[in-house]
Amino acid sequence: MAEYYSSFERGGTRWLLQRLTAAFLVAVLAFHFMLLHFVNHAYEITFQGTAVRMSQLGYFLTMVLFLVAATFHGVNGVYNALVNQGLDGTGKTAVKYGLALAGLLLIVQGIRVALAMTTIV
């Protein structure tokens, strides 16, 4: 039988954050689908409506947290999948910093878009 291997240290910080972000993403996605697909239908969604929603502090903060959680969850998941496939040495280091940079750029751009769509600031 094949031996089980995971690059996550069970009980480690990244292991815990991966699970917490997954739970948060499921909850926020459920909220998203309820609000934007059942309460309001897709054809009713407009830029103006998005600007109104994003101007509500709670909604704005939820969306920014969603962005950060989704980015961390995705980047951390891809990194650990590659490590589980045998990535090591210089390649592992390059991928780690490349993914970290891509994640940071994604978060910065996402926050720029979120700020452009709000009247809070």
18-65 per-position pLDDT tens digit: 999 999 999 999 998 888 888 877 778 888 988 999 999 999 999 999
Number of C-alpha atoms within 13 angstroms, CB side, residue 83?
18
Residue with tokens 């994604």: 106
Q: What are the residue ranges spanned by the domains of the chain?
A: 13-116
pTM: 0.85
Largest CA distance in the chain: 58
